[in-house]
Structure 1
């Protein structure tokens, strides 16, 4: 078997994922580069605030970085699908690292014009390398066993969440011994070294991806394409709804704690959400599901929305912490399932782009919900705000569950599209 041949495991486990040839090297490199996503935002805010003395300018620069990075992620991923990671990722990472370094230099002293900081941040966002979607696409190429792939995706989702927790902690250490601009330099080094290590892995071969599988005999190419597009759209819609839940929860937890005069409960609630998500993600990957991804995704999202809606009725912040932790159990599994459905539906040649669309939808939903929650908090009771934040997840889950179940009853998708399922 060649180094890049798909691997089938008779006993899919997390250990089996990491034992796949070159998986540990490739996954570790991707995580190293993606750690920059956890360190760069806070470093940028602190560096701009220290340079300009203005939170407004810091917020504007950070918003510009996000506005250019998130929406353009699918376009950068499409380039990877077309030309391969070895040709696309190095120039993106080099440009991104160079611009982060330029921002570090610009914020090291006061007096840099705000417009210059905005332009540098916009350019950096444009070149952010899509390491997450690329890693998931590489897992999909390495692993032909769908159960093993689900474990790989679950591991990736949990690891990514932990990166966003550990990233700010690393920035805190850097700022304690150096300065916020130094955090930007470290972020630049992380993304550059991680990307170069990733693209030198044997599985990140250059060139075009293998073509999509032909349509089965009972299904035309047009019908198969429509099925795949519908699957990706469902994954994107549900991911956006999940983002709404997560984006609103942070602010709503703060408002709830302040109403009960217990601000100290806020970090515990947010930690409980992350801990619940990590546990749920690992359990979801370890279970041998017989339920297809297209059905499992809306059910998990429905559970997430329902729990968060009930959380707003908590009589005390301690009860809220418990409900938020319970909601977290659904978060990583639902997001993992969204990535899996996009991967299954898109087929070879479009997997990186499909995963990037899911990620973009999730981030866009979170950003929009944070802004909307800011307008609603103080105007409506917290319980109503929690219910409104959960409504998109519940509505989208129901709206995608019905057609998924109906389609499966009428005509199950071929394994090349829906993913291999255990024999009934």
Structure 2
């Protein structure tokens, strides 16, 4: 089997369609999306099922906190295992253990009266083994595509699809719980991650990454290059996560202060996701004339300023429009962060680099929600919006200072078409680890 890595001539305009025409890209990306949909369904499913089983929102919140904390804290370790042993040898056992823990949690919470320690232990076990499908898929994109313009579009497409999965996941659970107990949503999450991950690791574009030759090559790649350069995307991702976590709570508080119901909150959050999806598509389609490190602080700064301005909204309609505008900068900031992290990493550390960005987003989201929860009852709502926006702007300013130190990332040349064809003809077979993911 030939190496699937491709590049495009500079005269050809890259597009999302060109990304999906890469051999096995649709199959690999589709399988990863099925597995990642589990992360869109699992949170609300676990929350509802534990609440139903124990009759306590406090217990459900504690179980979810344990699940989320373990998932975030162990994310870099799980990514390191993928880099060290390859996606097939690392992801498949993780997915099966994760799915098995969720299946047991589903059984335990199917009927009321489940022991709380058992539910907490199963949630912790699930969080410990959650497979890093997002970071691994982005590492696979990096291996598949040698053209930086195509890689930018691939990351943009990846970010938009991830956004849509987290929007559609709760909707899917809503359909399930109309006909079955909430624990069925937990079981569905287990099925999705198991099926998606197994299909992902058996794709020809990924499978070679777990072969002994490919793993040996990864282990000899050395340590993470450009660690100072990785600080910039991690810092921006943390700031964006803080903004998202704070904004979710601020939207709820704004709706309550104006006498609106919970259904209006869902529409405002949908506007945020829609704005993020549009922003991600636009960012991926533009041939930027400034480098990723230069535009990353601009995205984060624009997000912070828009968020601060949203606090001046006189009503829900204006707030919805402002939130949609803020969303325009979320996906571009995160996509660019992943792109820079990939450039800062040596081939054997790409999954880990992406996982650190992912961890920063999740940690920022949790911290933003907690901090805003403490402030929203103490300060006027407009001031809370301004504070959250100012924190994001501060992260952007600090990230701008890191841009000068970010040159340690590896350059990604755009090869001529002749060189690309020669390389493909000389490529080793999959058995030689040439198509590693």
Separation (CA, whole Å) in 2 of partners of 1:284 and 1:199: 29
Mapped pair 1:14 → 2:22: no
Which residue matches 1:296? 295
Comparing 121-130 with 104-113, which one deviates more in the overlay? 104-113
Separation (CA, whole Å) in 1 of partners of 2:199 and 2:141: 16
Provide the secondary structure at the position in 1 that maps to 2:410.
Answer: helix
Which residue matches 1:278? 277
Contact 2:300-2:333 within 8 A present in 1 as well: yes
Comparing 52-61 with 354-363, which one deviates more in the overlay? 52-61
Seen in structure 2, the aligned counterparts of structure 1 residues 117 and 20 have a Cα distance that, compared at 3 Å, is: same
Mapped pair 1:184 → 2:169: no
Q: What are the within-5 Å matches in structure 2 for residues 400-411 of structure 1?
A: 400-404=399-403, 406=404
Q: Which residue among 146, 149, 159 is the counterpart of 1:147?
A: 149
Separation (CA, whole Å) in 2 of partners of 1:256 and 1:97: 38
Q: What are the within-5 Å matches in structure 2 for residues 302-321 of structure 1?
A: 302-321=301-320
Q: What are the within-5 Å matches in structure 2 for residues 61-140 of structure 1?
A: 61-140=63-142
Separation (CA, whole Å) in 1 of partners of 2:405 and 2:98: 44
Separation (CA, whole Å) in 2 of partners of 1:268 and 1:90: 37
Contact 1:290-1:421 within 8 A present in 2 as well: no
Which residue matches 1:52? 54
| Shift, 1:4, TM fit | 2.8
Q: Which residue among 213, 231, 234 is the counterpart of 1:233?
A: 231
TM superposition score normalised by structure 2: 0.89
Provide the secondary structure at the position in 2 that maps to 1:176.
Answer: coil
Contact 1:99-1:120 within 8 A present in 2 as well: yes
Provide the secondary structure at the position in 1 that maps to 2:247.
Answer: helix
Alignment root-mean-square deviation, CA? 2.1
Q: What are the within-5 Å matches in structure 2 for residues 385-396 of structure 1?
A: 385-396=384-395
Q: Deviations over 1:327-381 (max 9, x none)?
A: 1111100000000010011121100001001000000000011011111112101
Seen in structure 2, the aligned counterparts of structure 1 residues 63 and 407 have a Cα distance that, compared at 3 Å, is: closer
Seen in structure 2, the aligned counterparts of structure 1 residues 149 and 393 have a Cα distance that, compared at 3 Å, is: same
Contact 1:6-1:141 within 8 A present in 2 as well: no
Gaps of 5+ in 1: 215-220
How many residues in Structure 1 have an aligned counterpart in Structure 2?
A: 407
| Shift, 1:128, TM fit | 0.4
Separation (CA, whole Å) in 2 of partners of 1:87 and 1:326: 42
Which residue matches 2:28? 26
Separation (CA, whole Å) in 1 of partners of 2:220 and 2:231: 20
Provide the secondary structure at the position in 2 that maps to 1:81.
Answer: helix
Mapped pair 1:247 → 2:245: yes
Contact 1:81-1:209 within 8 A present in 2 as well: no
Comparing 329-338 with 308-317, which one deviates more in the overlay? 308-317
Q: What are the within-5 Å matches in structure 2 for residues 258-269 of structure 1?
A: 258-263=256-261, 265-269=264-268
Separation (CA, whole Å) in 2 of partners of 1:351 and 1:419: 14
| Shift, 1:106, TM fit | 0.4
Which residue matches 1:196? 198
Contact 2:4-2:22 within 8 A present in 1 as well: no
Provide the secondary structure at the position in 1 that maps to 2:229.
Answer: helix
Q: Deviations over 1:76-133 (max 9, x none)?
A: 0011011100100111011111110100110112222101111111011000000000
Separation (CA, whole Å) in 1 of partners of 2:178 and 2:402: 53
Which residue matches 2:343? 344
Mapped pair 1:171 → 2:176: no
Comparing 278-287 with 248-257, which one deviates more in the overlay? 248-257
Q: Deviations over 1:295-323 (max 9, x none)?
A: 11111101100110111111222111111
For CA contacts below 8 A with separation 6 or more, give which structure has more relative contact order: 2
Separation (CA, whole Å) in 2 of partners of 1:212 and 1:108: 44
Separation (CA, whole Å) in 2 of partners of 1:127 and 1:51: 23
Separation (CA, whole Å) in 2 of partners of 1:138 and 1:421: 18
Separation (CA, whole Å) in 1 of partners of 2:176 and 2:106: 13
Provide the secondary structure at the position in 2 that maps to 1:378.
Answer: coil
| Shift, 1:25, TM fit | 0.2
Contact 2:6-2:22 within 8 A present in 1 as well: no
Contact 1:84-1:209 within 8 A present in 2 as well: no
Contact 1:8-1:143 within 8 A present in 2 as well: no
Seen in structure 2, the aligned counterparts of structure 1 residues 209 and 141 have a Cα distance that, compared at 3 Å, is: farther
Separation (CA, whole Å) in 2 of partners of 1:346 and 1:151: 19
Q: Deviations over 1:147-202 (max 9, x none)?
A: 10010001001100100111011111111111211111111111001000000011
Q: Deviations over 1:38-94 (max 9, x none)?
A: 111111111111111111111111111111111101100011011100100111011
Contact 2:229-2:405 within 8 A present in 1 as well: no
Gaps of 5+ in 2: 416-437
